């Protein structure tokens, strides 16, 4: 395979909602470029993109797929991305390593929630974008309405370059206003006839052409001057204006096609080949130190690994982008993330499962390596002398969580290994072994996301598993001050055990001053802080430990033992066994014995004194609250709001955004367990949501009573 220079490379992400036809388009592109001799279909489970067993089973894309094709002296690296929001990780990875996005729009559904969500990622990453309206041949397709929909959403930057002469079953021709030609397909013909625009289409074509002409001229001063002088531009000049408009993100060109019938796909590829930006035309990415790393072939080599798959008979296939320099087979590198040495023994250009040996990749290229020793998704490899590390891919917070366990406990270790491997393939699967909950929690983007994980583990790893409702990581705290003392005394011949601790507990908030006097049952207790330790707890919140002992009632060498006893009790709160937080503890008095006092005595005395005081300090349960944002069509707003209110949500606000309503609320995690499924059911899959941890808040008294009873029942069972 030819070694392509940086300016001969086009990296393009294929994105769009589920059902827009990305995989079918990819199949047509591979066919047009000669990579395959026969086009597969999604329904036939034989496409190049969807080659994993789980994708064939379910009939939708789960992973992003790299598809490299040589086209007109250029290397075009397409990444076919999943359409479902549950698999958004593949979209985000692809957009971060490509230089442009081609967004497919379903001609009869128009702009969908998935379109909007993915457009936001494109905007956030400042990538050029082009729309391709697909399935023009569908009986319910409506090109004009779809374009109007796009303009309503994204304004006058939306510029049609092609339009169909007719929609639906009669679709057989497009007018290309840039080429000023009509492409017409005869029944069964592979290639279209290229004709002059017929008289009946002249007026319509002229309107589109004028809009395109003005948009192209606006992106270059010289073109604008020429346009004013001559009233027109050549095709080449217009193409240059479109190219600059794409780079500046001031133009969103619109093409149309039928990917299923391979109509107009060839023209789309030609346009992208000439107009899509190459890596050296885009802003240079920054490494983890904030330094720009330009895609220069002569610079020290850095490879960023954005995707890993595990394939039968091969093992791990690691996909990378050459951020700088060049790479050849047999070269040695250092892993900037894991410090190990790595030799890249085999290089491939890939199109799904089809791998072609590659001699060399230069800056901007996307390629694959196999059988690397210790490279993970997100790692950077540097040649000797290089010191880059990249961490620019940021994934969204998970939205759906379940506890996972093997039906046969003997498979626990095997399951752990499988989960670790799966996370390499999709970093949006989050796996946490919770010491607190005594569960392994798997979090993802939705129910389908975790359903896919289950299918793969059961069918590929042959481990039967089950998902169960995860426990909620409640917290315990106190609402008022309380005092307690405890004497630990044990005598069983020889040296005994003795320790007595007097302490006060109170709720703690940042910056809260400590009173000099506390009053309990008519008694005053004066305290003076001799030493203060503020401990940031691993599970959130703080413990403030104050030494207020006077007169040497307890030797300072026993204070760490008292603190250890208190910490042990905070790890298992008195109400429900949950972690306790945000407590100030003042140890103000106690007693010790010159012979029998030791660390264990004061640890037990501190633990029990704290437990008694905590129970008398108005203990309350806190629950995790999440910020939830729902994007929903206006028609469903009432149903969605009602459903949220039934989940104890606090509605924080609403705003309109380009035809959709955005609803913001604070919702307890306990109530979000089935929300992904419910929202989809309520809105026919047309809404989406995101959630992010906000804070811990007090649970309502009726919920607390219920939790206490449930905990008491489990304690009796134990």
CATH code, domain with 578: 3.30.230.10
Q: Where are the beta strands (DSSP E) in 243-314?
A: 252-256, 302-311
User: What's the mean per-residue pLDDT of the chain?
Assistant: 93
Pairing of strands 475-477, 579-580: parallel
What is the C-alpha separation between 472 and 584, in angstroms, rounded?
25
Identify whether 166 is part of a domain: yes
| Residue 319: burial class (beta carbons within 10 Å; 0-12, 13-18, 19+) | buried
Provide, for the chain, the percentages of residues in helix, strand and coil under a 3-state DSSP scheme, each rounded to the nearest 5. 30, 30, 35
What is the C-alpha separation between 652 and 666, in angstroms, rounded?
7
- 717 confidence band (pLDDT: 50, 70, 90): low
Q: Which CATH number covers residue 413?
A: 3.30.70.870
Identify whether 644 is part of a domain: yes
Whether residue 27 is found in the same domain as residue 45:
yes
Q: What is the pLDDT of residue 414?
A: 95
- 386 confidence band (pLDDT: 50, 70, 90): confident
CB 134 within 8 A of CB 142: no
The pair of three-digit structure tokens given for residue 594, joined into one six-digit string: 């010159």
Whether residue 10 is found in the same domain as residue 136:
yes
Q: If you search the block for the tokens 């029942």, which residue do you land on?
A: 713
CB 136 within 8 A of CB 160: no
Identify whether 711 is part of a domain: no
CB atoms within 10 A of CB 18: 18
Q: Over the stretch 52-97, which tens digit does the pLDDT of each residue have?
A: 888 887 777 888 999 999 999 999 999 999 988 889 999 999 999 9
562: Cα within 13 Å, side-chain hemisphere? 34
What is the C-alpha separation between 663 and 637, in angstroms, rounded?
8
The pair of three-digit structure tokens given for residue 27, joined into one six-digit string: 């199949």
Q: Which CATH number covers residue 227?
A: 3.40.50.300
Residues with Cβ within 8 Å of 303's Cβ and at least 6 positions away in sequence, in order, are 320, 321, 322, 323, 327, 333, 344, 380, 381, 382
Q: What is the dihedral of CA 429, 435, 440, 441, to 10 degrees?
A: -50
What is the C-alpha separation between 391 and 378, in angstroms, rounded?
7
Whether residue 600 is found in the same domain as residue 632:
no
**Residue 127 DSSP one-character state:** -
Whether residue 340 is found in the same domain as residue 486:
no
Q: What is the pLDDT of residue 350?
A: 95
Q: If you search the block for the tokens 């593949």, which residue do you land on?
A: 90
Residues with Cβ within 8 Å of 509's Cβ and at least 6 positions away in sequence, in order, are 582
The pair of three-digit structure tokens given for residue 512, joined into one six-digit string: 């809260």
Q: What is the pLDDT of residue 116?
A: 86
What is the C-alpha separation between 677 and 655, in angstroms, rounded?
24
pLDDT of 174 over the 60 cut: yes
- 51 confidence band (pLDDT: 50, 70, 90): confident
Phi, psi of 559 (to 5 degrees): -65, -40
Whether residue 267 is found in the same domain as residue 377:
no
Domain residues for the domain of 559 are 476-618
CB 349 within 8 A of CB 312: no
Pairing of strands 173-176, 162-164: antiparallel
CB 471 within 8 A of CB 577: no
Instruction: Kindly report the length of the chain.
Output: 718
Q: What is the pLDDT of residue 656?
A: 86
- Chain mean position to CA 707: 33
Q: Over the stretch 426-449, which tens digit does the pLDDT of each residue have?
A: 889 999 999 889 999 999 998 889
Of 471, 495, 521, which residue sits at a domain end? Answer: 471
Q: What is the pLDDT of residue 492?
A: 72
CB atoms within 10 A of CB 424: 18
Whether residue 228 is found in the same domain as residue 85:
yes
What is the C-alpha separation between 332 and 330, in angstroms, rounded?
7
What is the C-alpha separation between 147 and 158, in angstroms, rounded?
8
- 659 confidence band (pLDDT: 50, 70, 90): low
CB 316 within 8 A of CB 308: yes
Of 456, 471, 486, which residue sits at a domain end? Answer: 471
Q: Over the stretch 93-115, which tens digit does the pLDDT of each residue have?
A: 999 999 999 999 999 999 888 88
Quick one: which of 499, 516, 476, 518 has its CA closest to 623? 476
* Three-class secondary structure of residue 194 per DSSP: strand
Identify whether 292 is part of a domain: no
pLDDT of 716 over the 80 cut: no
Q: Over the stretch 266-324, which tens digit does the pLDDT of each residue have?
A: 999 999 999 999 999 999 999 999 999 999 999 999 999 999 988 877 888 999 999 99
Q: Angle formed by the axes of helices 235-247 and 202-217, to 10°?
A: 60
Average pLDDT over residues 473-488: 96
Phi, psi of 382 (to 5 degrees): -120, 145
Identify whether 36 is part of a domain: yes
Q: Over the stretch 606-655, which tens digit does the pLDDT of each residue have?
A: 999 999 999 999 999 999 999 999 988 888 999 999 999 999 999 999 99
**Residue 258 DSSP one-character state:** B
The pair of three-digit structure tokens given for residue 548, joined into one six-digit string: 């207020």
What is the C-alpha separation between 415 and 465, in angstroms, rounded?
9
Of 584, 618, 652, which residue sits at a domain end? Answer: 618
Whether residue 106 is found in the same domain as residue 245:
yes
Residues with Cβ within 8 Å of 537's Cβ and at least 6 positions away in sequence, in order, are 543, 570, 579, 581
pLDDT of 482 over the 80 cut: yes
Whether residue 467 is found in the same domain as residue 487:
no
CB 456 within 8 A of CB 422: yes
The pair of three-digit structure tokens given for residue 424, joined into one six-digit string: 């390499």
pLDDT of 687 over the 60 cut: yes
Identify whether 612 is part of a domain: yes
177: Cα within 13 Å, side-chain hemisphere? 28
User: 461-473 in b/e burial notation, b at 16+ Cβ within 10 A?
Assistant: bebebebeebebb
Whether residue 262 is found in the same domain as residue 357:
no
CB 285 within 8 A of CB 390: yes
Average pLDDT over residues 371-400: 92
- 385 confidence band (pLDDT: 50, 70, 90): confident
Identify whether 293 is part of a domain: no
Residues with Cβ within 8 Å of 403's Cβ and at least 6 positions away in sequence, in order, are 437, 439, 440, 441, 442, 467, 468, 469, 470, 471
What is the C-alpha separation between 643 and 652, in angstroms, rounded?
15
Q: What is the pLDDT of residue 658?
A: 67
* Three-class secondary structure of residue 44 per DSSP: coil
Beta bridge partner(s), residue 321? 304, 366
What is the C-alpha separation between 221 and 356, in angstroms, rounded?
44
Q: What is the pLDDT of residue 189?
A: 75
Q: Which CATH number covers residue 346?
A: 2.40.30.10
Quick one: which of 148, 143, 147, 151 has its CA closest to 173? 143
Phi, psi of 656 (to 5 degrees): -95, 145
Helix (H) or strand (E) holding 523: strand 523-526
| Residue 370: burial class (beta carbons within 10 Å; 0-12, 13-18, 19+) | middle
% of the chain with per-residue pLDDT over 90? 78
Identify whether 709 is part of a domain: no
Q: What is the pLDDT of residue 268?
A: 97
Considering the entire predicted model, what is its pTM? 0.85
Whether residue 146 is found in the same domain as residue 240:
yes
Whether residue 348 is found in the same domain as residue 466:
no
CB 251 within 8 A of CB 220: no
Average pLDDT over residues 516-524: 94
Q: Which CATH number covers residue 647?
A: 3.30.70.240
Whether residue 223 is found in the same domain as residue 179:
yes
Q: What is the pLDDT of residue 84?
A: 87
Query: What is the number of structural domains in the chain?
Result: 5
CB atoms within 10 A of CB 705: 12
Alpha helices in 468-539 (DSSP H): none
Q: Over the stretch 332-365, which tens digit does the pLDDT of each residue have?
A: 999 999 888 999 999 999 999 899 999 999 999 9
């Amino acid at each position: 395979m030819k070694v392509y220079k940086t300016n001969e490379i086009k990296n393009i992400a294929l994105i769009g909602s589920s059902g827009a036809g990305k995989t079918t388009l990819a199949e047509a592109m591979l066919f047009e470029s000669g990579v395959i001799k026969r086009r597969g279909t999604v329904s036939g489970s034989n496409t190049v993109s969807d080659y994993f067993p789980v994708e064939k089973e379910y009939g939708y894309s789960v992973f992003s797929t790299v598809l490299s094709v040589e086209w007109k002296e250029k290397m075009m690296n397409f990444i076919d991305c999943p359409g479902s929001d549950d698999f958004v990780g593949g979209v985000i990875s692809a957009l971060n390593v490509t230089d442009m996005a081609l967004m497919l729009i379903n001609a009869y559904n128009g702009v969908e929630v998935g379109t909007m969500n993915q457009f936001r990622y494109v905007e956030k990453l400042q990538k050029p974008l082009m729309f391709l309206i697909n399935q023009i041949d569908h009986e319910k397709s409506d090109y004009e309405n779809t374009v109007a929909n796009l303009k309503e959403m994204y304004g006058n930057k939306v510029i049609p370059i092609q339009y169909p002469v007719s929609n639906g079953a009669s679709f057989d021709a497009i007018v290309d206003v840039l080429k000023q030609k009509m492409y017409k397909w005869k029944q069964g013909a592979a290639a279209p006839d290229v004709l002059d625009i017929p008289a009946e289409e002249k007026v319509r074509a002229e309107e589109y052409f004028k809009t395109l002409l003005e948009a192209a001229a606006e992106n270059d001063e010289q073109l604008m001057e020429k346009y004013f002088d001559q009233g027109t531009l050549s095709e080449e000049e217009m193409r240059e204006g479109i190219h600059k408009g794409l780079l500046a993100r001031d133009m969103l060109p619109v093409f149309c096609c039928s990917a299923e019938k391979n109509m107009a796909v060839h023209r789309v590829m030609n346009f992208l080949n000439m107009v899509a930006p190459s890596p050296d035309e885009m802003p240079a990415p920054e490494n983890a130190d904030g330094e720009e790393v330009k895609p220069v072939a002569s610079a020290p080599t850095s490879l960023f690994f954005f995707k890993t798959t595990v394939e039968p008979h091969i093992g791990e296939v690691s996909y990378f982008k050459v951020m700088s320099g060049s790479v050849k087979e047999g070269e040695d590198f250092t892993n900037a993330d894991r410090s190990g040495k790595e030799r890249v023994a085999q290089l491939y250009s890939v199109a799904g499962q089809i791998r072609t040996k590659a001699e060399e990749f230069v800056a901007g290229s996307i390629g694959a390596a196999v059988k690397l020793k210790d490279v993970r998704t997100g790692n950077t490899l540097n040649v000797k002398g290089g010191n880059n590390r990249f961490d620019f891919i940021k994934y969204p917070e998970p939205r759906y969580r379940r506890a996972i366990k093997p039906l046969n406990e003997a498979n626990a270790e095997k399951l752990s290994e499988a989960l670790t491997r799966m996370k390499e393939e999709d970093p949006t699967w989050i796996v946490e072994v919770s010491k607190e909950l005594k569960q392994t929690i798997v979090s993802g983007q939705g129910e389908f996301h975790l359903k896919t994980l289950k299918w793969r583990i059961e069918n590929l790893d042959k481990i039967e598993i089950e998902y169960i409702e995860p426990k909620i990581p409640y917290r315990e705290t106190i609402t008022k001050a309380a005092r307690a003392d405890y004497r630990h005394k044990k005598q069983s011949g020889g040296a005994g055990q003795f320790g007595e601790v007097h302490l006060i507990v109170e709720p703690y908030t940042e910056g809260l001053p400590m009173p000099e006097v506390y009053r309990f049952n008519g008694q005053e207790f004066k305290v003076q802080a001799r030493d203060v330790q503020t401990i940031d707890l691993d599970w959130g919140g703080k413990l403030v430990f104050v030494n207020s002992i006077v007169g040497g009632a307890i030797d300072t060498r026993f204070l760490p033992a008292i603190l250890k006893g208190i910490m042990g009790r905070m790890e298992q709160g008195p109400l429900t066994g949950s972690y306790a937080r945000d407590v100030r503890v003042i140890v103000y008095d106690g007693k010790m014995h010159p012979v029998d006092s030791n660390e264990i005595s004061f640890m037990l005395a501190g633990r029990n004194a704290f437990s008694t005081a905590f129970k008398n300090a108005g203990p309350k349960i806190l629950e995790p609250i999440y910020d939830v944002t729902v994007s929903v069509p206006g028609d469903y707003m009432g149903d969605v709001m009602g459903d949220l209110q039934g989940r104890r949500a606090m509605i924080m606000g609403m705003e309109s955004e380009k035809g959709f309503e955005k609803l913001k609320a604070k919702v307890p995690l306990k109530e979000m367990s089935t929300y992904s499924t419910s929202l989809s059911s309520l809105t026919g899959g047309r809404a989406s949501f995101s959630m992010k941890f906000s804070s811990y808040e007090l649970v309502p008294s009726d919920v607390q009573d219920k939790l206490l009873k449930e905990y008491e029942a489990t304690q009796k069972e134990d």
